[in-house]
Structure 1
Amino acid sequence: MFNPILNTFISVIDCGSFTKAAEQLNISTTAIMKQMNTLEKHLNLKLIDRTPTGVRYTQAGKIIYRDAKFIIDYSKKSITEAKAAASDDGIVFRAGTSKLAPARAFMDLWYQVSPDFPENKLQLVSFEDDTQGLLPEIKKLGEKFDFLVSICDSEKLLSMCRCLPIGNYKEMIAIPKNHPLAEKEMLYIEDLHGKNLMIMSEGISPVHDKIREDFQKNHPQIFLNDIPHNYNLSVFQRCINTKSALLIPECWKNIHPDIISLPVYWDYTVPYGILYSSNPSESVLNFIKAAENLLS
């Protein structure tokens, strides 16, 4: 339903080089370059700037990159819905997925549990990340979605639904590619001294509150800038525009092509899990029980 070369273009931008994209896609570098030339010729646009240190998108390429992801996600959603409509036997579980709430962790669990639910089918429901973060989508659990995967250390979030804990993401530091720390492969906390760090406002996330307390007590040289709400895509744009560091979970490490994410020498993690309605259906409860047994 879409030109598959778009997938190659996205990989090139995400990887920052033809060679790395070739390794990711398991094809030759020459084939990658030919596909990019074909795409640029087909669109009559220059999409990529080629430099000695790698590649990055042009202004035109930035727009194509953004919309290509939407086109691919929408196409996958359309095919999934069509397949579900073609067979109305059994129960369809609907799992929401977006940039900030990827369904990969749910999919991994589904493939292990699904043999116990041979009559059930899975439908991925793509959605755009709201300016208010994930909270508006959580209100739709039981209606638009049956399941969402999310970080689950917010009392407000957990008051709106039930949660099956799955594990913990490592906390990382995201920075723009032109940040002074961008050449490093891993950070010490001291590397952040004299730098601006974006962190959730006090009282939203217990994990961020703990990190805030640590930094205020032991690393006052780090300048903390509050994020006054839950994360949304505008937060990452602010990170780029202000050339600030940003505290993120590892599941978002590839969320923006102009941002790189670095591990840190610390033990901070944030819990994540499967969210489902406070008033779940019997089929949803049966799935959750099976998942609990698998995880225990």
Structure 2
Amino acid sequence: MLLKQMKYFITIVDCHSFTEAAEQCFISQSAISQQIKSLEKELGIRLFERNKRQFSLTPAGEYFYRHGKVILDEIEDFKEETIRRGEDQELNLTIGYPKNFSTSEFHQAIVEFNRIYPEVNISVVSGTHEELFELLVQHHIDVKISEQRRTFNEDYYNYELKHSECFVEISSMNPLSKKEILTTDDLKNMSCILVVSKDKEDSEREFYEKSLNLSRRFLYADSLEQARLMVASQRGYLPIDQIGHLPKPMEGIERITLHYKGKPIQRNYFACWSKENTNYYIEEFVEMYKGLLNK
């Protein structure tokens, strides 16, 4: 059985006509009819029930049509990916990762991905959630890892990675550090320390005020390390995203679950990338990262 015979058969069914199918396939009607007869002869069954100028599918023909379309689509994807790999002199994958995330799984995913796909050069860009979205829209990164902060855009794939609780880090010298849980009311008289890029302070503050009900007093740090030094010196508390396994906090800091109205604050984390620019490597990395997060 030839792939072109499968294509001829599917085209006939889609067009509901041997004549139109022959035109689409750039062959004569007699030639396409002969190819279908050869296909039926090889299979030893009838795919069409013919009645003068009309036809219908036999049960076998319906099965052949349904599964044949899937096979042809897979072959087309396979062909396109092979061509793309042959044309690309250098394969690059740029991942946007929030600067306030702290997780070993992300780095493990990069190491494992590079082991399996050494031909791909991975680079990482860090920023706030809003900065990463802008970079994604401008095609400066291929995929971003972040929590859900906006309504999903249908032009992008939004692949859920993990659903987990929110924590805060607080100085061990603060009496609140002895509590098993902390509430937003407990923290209302303290400053909230955010890891944020310059000129993005307002959007980050607004999110933490409105979405997480945190204090209206904010301090800002350029990096996670700087923020933790501020926590240790009792300048405020630091909200922490638990997207993976969190290492023990540095000495002088306690990490405690954050609650609001009697329930833990939970957040959803996603990988997001453009449908227009999707490719095999993005999907493979995201799947690998999710597997590590949910071990």
TM-score by length of 1: 0.43
Structure holding more strand per residue: 2
- Find the structure with the greater CA-based Rg: 2
TM-score with structure 2 setting the length: 0.43
